[in-house]
Amino acid sequence: MSTAPNILIVDDHREIRDALKRYLERNGFRTSAVDSARAMDKAMSESRYDLVVLDVMMPGEDGLSACRRLRVESDVAVLMLTALGEDTDRIIGLEVGADDYLPKPFNPREVLARIKAILRRTERAPVSLGGQYGGKKLLFDRWTLDVDRRILIDAGGEEAVLTTGDYQLLVAFLERPRIILSRDRLLDLTSGREAAPFDRAIDNQVSRLRRKIERDAASPELISTVRGGGYCFMSDVTESA
């Protein structure tokens, strides 16, 4: 079975989605293309996708509404396509959970570059990697993070799957409990880059991590939002061998 990332393109313009589908396939991706949010739902019920390229302006349910639903129902990465000059759509798209946005008309090479960058941030973590915390287990709330295996285990022995981005963000918090971390600081700790204007990558990653570790992601107790400051991890953290 192919291990190439699986991409779903959702755009009501057939020329755009067909051309983008061919381009991504030539560059090694598995790709499907549909023309509406309804067709997107059907496709996602039948196959697992690593990333959705989602147009904002579509008949029926628009891309912003569809993205908002995806963030509740799925961890799939989302790249929004917006009309040129529609800054409001871009900002709202990032706020509702898109990982990145790209205005139309676009260069397919830039779409490819954006997709690769998003997948690098959200790819599944390797099963067994050591590091400077090799051999340790970090305990917080009802969770145990096995650092060597990058596996998060709850009090009942159930495992929570962590992507590379989840793991890096969680470790950043566990190393600095009860310290307010700005979005810029978290971005630097997890990906080594500075935030661009309207960059919501960290907010989206925090939302994904909350859905995995909080009892109620809508009322988080572990990762607290600090108005004007960023985020703060509110649990004590202990180490064990």
Q: Are 168 and 110 within one domain?
A: no
Q: What is the CATH number of the domain that holds 204?
A: 1.10.10.10
Residue 129 covered by a domain: no
Q: How confident is the model at residue 120 (pLDDT cuts 50, 70, 90)?
A: confident
Q: Are 22 and 112 within one domain?
A: yes
| Residue 182: count of CB within 10 angstroms of its CB | 15
Q: Quote the domain boundaries for residue 87.
A: 6-122
Residue 114 covered by a domain: yes
pTM comes to 0.60
* 53, 111 Cβ separation under 8 angstroms: yes
Residue 18 covered by a domain: yes
How does pLDDT run across 22-76, given as a tens digit for each residue?
A: 999 999 999 999 999 999 999 999 998 999 999 998 999 999 899 988 877 777 8
* 145, 169 Cβ separation under 8 angstroms: no
